[in-house]
Amino acid sequence: MDIDIENLLNAENSHIVKLQEIVKKTLEDEELINQNLLNPPKEILTRGQSVSDKVARFGGSWAFIISFFIILTIWIIYNVTAVKGDAFDPYPFILMNLILSCIAALQAPIIMMSQNRQEEKDRKRSENDYLINLKAELEIRSLDQKVDLLLQEQIKILFESQAKQMEILKKIEAKL
């Protein structure tokens, strides 16, 4: 009887050791993921990147559209109502068209630079999402391993108890 209790305790101890190994392995796997998520690399912007972000932020805002509309309205009103000699850009507004074309030609590549940087940020964000999903998958695998181990141990205990019950029944049968 003492041997049976000792065997059960040893089996329980080995079971606990296996569970601890699974937890330890899971923690080691997650450590790198946690480090990447908690300490993302700092973004270092060059002066040009900073300027392109500011230009894109302002160029794509209502403040830019409204202020630009006001400037163009003042430009047109002044050049239409001014005396012939004082108007610096008379009616087909060739100078204004040239300035608008230059602004558009310069603003487009600057906004594209900013969009490229935003795309890089989105890529890094998707990498972080992937790492979070990977972490969740590792957790699920760990839980799956723990459940499998528990089931194996329970089945083993059931077979052992069934075998002991059969022995007891055989002893009882032999006595009868």
| Predicted pLDDT of residue 70 | 96
Give every CB contact of residue 52 below 8 A, 6+ residues apart in sequence. Answer: 110, 111, 113, 114, 117
Which of 25-34, 56-65, 92-101, 102-111 has the weakest average pLDDT? Answer: 25-34
The residue range of the domain holding 150 is 2-175
DSSP string spanning 50-114? HHHHHHHHHHTSHHHHHHHHHHHHHHHHHHHHS-TTT-SS-TT-HHHHHHHHHHHHHHHHHHHHH
Tell me: pLDDT of 25 over 80.
no
Q: How far apart are CA 138 and CA 152, in angstroms?
A: 21
Tell me: pLDDT of 174 over 80.
yes
Which of 16-25, 132-141, 166-175 has the weakest average pLDDT? Answer: 16-25
Q: How far apart are CA 124 and CA 41, in angstroms?
A: 10
Q: How far apart are CA 128 and CA 37, in angstroms?
A: 7
- Is 154 or 31 the better-scoring residue by pLDDT? 154
Write out pLDDT tens, residues 61-100.
899 999 999 999 999 999 999 888 888 898 899 999 999 9
SS3 content of the chain, % helix, strand, coil (to 5): 85, 0, 15
| Predicted pLDDT of residue 6 | 67
Number of Cβ atoms within 10 Å of the Cβ of 104: 9
| Predicted pLDDT of residue 5 | 61
Q: How far apart are CA 174 and CA 164, in angstroms?
A: 15
Enter the pTM of the model: 0.53
Count of structural domains, the chain = 1
| Predicted pLDDT of residue 101 | 95
